Amino acid sequence: MNFKALQEEAERQYMICNACRHCEGFCPVWDAMERRNFFEAKDLKFFSYLCHDCRDCFYACPYSEPHEFGLNIPKLNSTIRYQIHLENSWPKKAGVVMNRGYLAGSVLFVIAFSALLMIAYSLHGLTSLFGYHSSFYDVIPYDVMDDAGLALGFYILAMWIIQGLNYWKEIGGKPSQLFDMRSHLVSIHEVLSHKWFKGGGSGCDYPKEIGTKTRMYFHGSMFFGFLSAFLATIIAAYLQRILGYMPPYPILSGPVFFGVLGGFLMIIGSLGFLIMKASSDSTKAYERMLKADYLVIYLLLFVSTTGLLTLALRASDYMGLILVLHLSLVGTLFAVVPFSKMNHIIFRYLSLLKNNIESSQQTDLREVTA
């Protein structure tokens, strides 16, 4: 479906919703919708990521499929989100990650794995992969890991800034509004508290028509696990670059403690999501978006698992091989992040920010006119 046809269908469904208002209070989409009398493309893109896919609205709606009105807001928003990812891919050809995620991921992994194998083999031959080493840097040099990590980190940051600014413009945001600190604080609180993963308060109707907060817990496990692993990386960088304290680090050190914690949390979150997706109703999501979801979940699961294995086997003869495998998966994840489902981190946050800016402006207007 091209976006013009998709926009027409979205306008039809949202006009019915705006007249009904039966789902008031389920999520911020309905408040944002009420502030509008008609809908443009920018509004529909805004709604799609303001939606957290709790699906409560579908089961509460008297006009959902198979009613003749045929409303399916969760699938509609999923489809629009997929289009947003394709449109914001920069360069455009990078959209192949969304269209053919498994193929793109496999090719990138083979490239990364082959490159790291050659680097490791050039240092100590097969003993780099099958032999005891006191440090990870005996297998892959510090400069290689450090430079590659920094390059990939800046690459993701640059892509997210470019795509985030494009999305902000697409949903009608003004550059000056990006400096609204009050709205940023409210948005950050909503993100950290997972406020909108609770549906109307009884939880998400995901994966089935039963209100539960299970999805919120799994997402929280994934989210805070990722933050913990990132914190471990920051601490390790500080110890090495500033203090000159090189690994291996003891179990209770910051890098190891937060790395292990983050790994376990991401494994729990990944497995939880895979189980929930396997039992969820696929008619409530766009098929291609579902496939894009799976690519990121599997990559996070494999990265977390091999990361813990690398730590557990760091004193064994297999540490080198596991390290190369882990770093190859990390490189693959970093390479696909800016063109994958992971972009929802940026798009959803900006949608929350815009909603809180609009809500704040509406409150200020009411106070002035009162």
Q: Which amino acid is at 9?
A: E
Kindly list the domain boundaries of the chain, sorted by start residue.
Answer: 92-369
Phi, psi of 29 (to 5 degrees): -60, -40
Q: Is the pLDDT of residue 59 over 60?
A: yes
Within 10 Å of residue 336's Cβ, how many Cβ atoms?
A: 23
Q: Is the pLDDT of residue 277 over 60?
A: yes
18 vs 6, 12, 30, 195, 197, CA distance in Å? 18, 10, 8, 23, 22
Give residue 1's pLDDT: 59
**Residues with Cβ within 8 Å of residue 218, at least 6 apart in sequence:** 268, 269, 272, 273, 276
Phi, psi of 287 (to 5 degrees): -55, -45
pTM of the model: 0.92
Q: Is the pLDDT of residue 133 over 90?
A: no
Under DSSP, the state recorded for 65 is T
Summarize pLDDT for 70-112 with one digit per residue, the tens.
999 999 999 999 999 988 887 777 777 888 888 889 999 999 9
CA nearest 4: which of 73, 65, 68, 80? 80
